[in-house]
Amino acid sequence: MAAPFVQGRLLETYLSVEIKTACAHCGQPLHITLDSELTYQVNNEGAEPLVFQPDVNWQEFTDPSIINAY
């Protein structure tokens, strides 16, 4: 599944996803909600994971994949 901020922008629709993972450093579980506007919420008290948006000019983006846009 593509990240919602990618799919949502390409499809011009609102999408959201719940991510259940674990910290690579300490192994603590992480539960993150992320949407197509890159609004996110970390649902674990005290957790501060890094969440970022790729630097892509979405107004001019026409590639079939964001891989080549980097």
- 5-25 pLDDT tens trace: 677 777 888 888 898 999 888
- Which DSSP symbol is given to 33? E
pLDDT tens track for 29-57: 999 998 888 788 999 988 888 766 667 78
DSSP β-bridge partners for residue 34: 17, 40
Q: What is the pLDDT of residue 31?
A: 93
Name, in order, each residue with C-beta under 8 angstroms of 4's C-beta and a sequence gap of 6 or more: 15, 16, 17, 34, 35, 36
Are the beta carbons of 18 and 32 closer than 8 angstroms? yes
Q: What predicted TM-score, i.e. pTM, was given to this entire model?
A: 0.56
